[in-house]
Amino acid sequence: MIDVAKAAGVSKSTVSLVLRGNAGVKAETVEKVNQAIRELGYVYNRDAAGLRNKESNLVAIVANDLANPYLAQVIIALEGQLERLGFMPIVVNINENVMRQTDMVASLKEHNVAGYFITPAPDTDANWLTELANSQHPVVCLMRDVEGAQVPTVMPDNRLGMYLSTRYLIGLGHQRIAFIGGIASISDYQERKEGFLQAMNEAGLTVKPSDIEPSSTKRQGGKVAVNRVLDREPNITAIVCFTDVVAYGAYTALRERGLTPGEDIAVVGFDDLEDSRLMSPALTTVRVSAEEIGRMACERLQLWRENLRVPENALVGVELVIRSSCCSVGKKARGLA
């Protein structure tokens, strides 16, 4: 580092700041230091630096299911925020398995990570989360809340999102509406179901137990859930789906039954994935900003590290995006963009 500092004409401490990604160093100084590093072939030993400083610049992102495209968007947003803060993200996939989650976190502890972002697996223990977290190694839950855990959670306003989509369908004249998809033991499922029920109750509409069908959050889950609901209740005219991916599976099931999404049955998703506007028909959905989730999550990680106390939860706003997958009862879809 002394050699790099001499070659760049700066102090050793400035070289250290550049290597740690400090945002306060001028761009021209950063370029000088990086040029000297390239010319000298210097490699920064982060493990040795971590031993000296007794801290790490690694932050773990413990993902419940990397096959989920919306979660992938959130992780990309998190990575950008973390890099700006001088942290290096490590992503691990637990595949909705609570035992794998425990094992992976135990391994990550050995690397002295500076903090954790976790989308908790089903049946995650609140005490386990609370014991894992402290001011040196904060834990922020993403998308899901674990009741009783003393850690902050950043998630969409699930109730409002599902309330808005259900109320929109009711406004189009639908009275027999199904809610499909999602794992019943997870907080976001319960919140979205509550939003659905609230809208139906306010309109004085009956919801039968057979109108609600949990399932996996993959396309196959949506396909299976639609078939189960329509086999029981063939008079359903609209479907609200736990996610856009579940809605994609619903499209497949409807077409296999000889029904056209957006004409014979209205369909609404949740997340507003990039592919949703390209579906045929374009999917009406609830938009949630992955960038905002990433920003708020990193903000809470930093607040905990700096203030040495657990930050408040954060609720990310939602917006109903109306496209052409919703029709009035007995009418063709209205061709919205």
Please give the Cα distance from 184 to 109 (Å, whole number): 30
Position 288 scores a pLDDT of 96
Alpha helices by DSSP H, listed for the chain, are 2-8, 12-19, 27-40, 46-53, 69-84, 98-109, 126-132, 158-171, 187-202, 219-232, 244-256, 290-307
Cα 187 to Cα 178, 184, 328: the distances in Å are 19, 8, 31
Contacts of 109 (CB under 8 A, 6+ apart): none
Predicted structure pTM score: 0.80
Position 333 scores a pLDDT of 44
On the question of a cis peptide bond just before residue 69, with omega within 30 degrees of 0, the verdict is no
Please give the Cα distance from 265 to 293 (Å, whole number): 32
Contacts of 47 (CB under 8 A, 6+ apart): none
pLDDT, block means (10 residues), the chain with 337 residues: 87 80 78 87 63 71 94 95 91 95 91 92 94 88 95 97 98 97 94 98 97 96 98 97 98 97 97 96 97 95 87 96 92 43
Lookup result for tokens 């997340």: 271
